[in-house]
Amino acid sequence: MAKPSLREPLLQAGLQVMFHDGYVGASVRDITVAAGAPLGSFTNHFSSKEAFAAEVLARYFDYVKGLVRQALDDASLPPRDRLRRYLDLITDKLAADGCTRGCLIGDFSLETPGHSALLREQLAGIFGEWRDLFARCIADAQAAGEIATDFPPDELAEFLLASWQGAILRMKVERSTAALERFKRIAFATVFSGGQHERTA
């Protein structure tokens, strides 16, 4: 009988190791040890660490898109509330991890541009797709009069992503969700308001 493939255990272990140690800090040996696999099994399934990381990143973004759909596709909520629900959902998940983990997409964005053109281009594509998901919801909120139309939806979506990633980095330093809550409070009282400043809890 053929030996079972170790591809899936390696990818699962790689996601955890790279989350903890980063792209640069995670060695192939670390990944194979975490997967309980022989070192040679890595090259049987992946041409390089870079190619492996690209698959890990794609898998992680699929998970993120599932969370986005969970919040933004909820037709029972107004569009603006769906945006807030997504940020609240992520805040709860990060808090449950003790504010020690952030976003793998953001972490890779800090590390990989100087090391890998492949990953840099993949990240650019991920941010573009991510932006478009939020831009559609923001456009719906603007059409409903929930968000002011001073800026186009794609620019507001870019602002949301960039600022949220920055807040997550601060959260990891402080081991507190304070930066996340501050961003939500200020953003939804100004940039994502209907034009009149609102006070939120």
Q: What is the DSSP letter of 46?
A: -
Per-residue confidence (pLDDT) for residue 114, from 0 to 100: 80
Lowest-confidence segment of 62-71, 106-115, 192-201 by average pLDDT: 192-201
**41-58, pLDDT tens digit by residue?**
999 999 999 999 999 999
Domains of the chain with CATH codes: 1-46 (1.10.10.60), 49-189 (1.10.357.10)
Q: Find the largest Cα–Cα distance for the chain.
A: 69
pLDDT at residue 187, as a whole number: 97
Mean pLDDT of all residues in 83-100? 95
pLDDT at 196 over 50: no
For the chain, the first-to-last Cα distance in angstroms comes to 61
> Average pLDDT, stretch 13-32?
94
Picking from 125, 113, 67, the residue whose alpha carbon sits closest to that of residue 91 is 67
Model confidence pLDDT, tens digit, residues 95-134: 999 999 899 999 999 988 787 899 999 999 999 999 999 9
Question: Is the C-alpha dihedral spanning 61, 108, 116, 26 positive or negative?
Answer: negative
How many CB atoms neighbour CB 29 within 10 A?
Answer: 10
Indicate whether 72 pLDDT > 60: yes
Q: Which of 183, 185, 189, 152 is nearest to 167 (CA)?
A: 183
Angle between helix 117-143 and helix 153-174 axes, rounded to 10 deg: 120
Q: What pLDDT does residue 21 have?
A: 92
In 10 A of CB 174, how many CB atoms? Answer: 11
The CA distance from 154 to 162, in Å, is 12
Distance, CA of 115 to CA of 129 (rounded, Å): 23
Query: According to DSSP H, which parts of 39-190 are helical?
Result: 40-45, 49-72, 79-96, 104-111, 117-143, 153-174, 178-189
Average pLDDT over residues 79-91: 97
Residue 174 phi/psi, 5-degree rounding, is -85, -15
What pLDDT score does 132 carry? Answer: 97
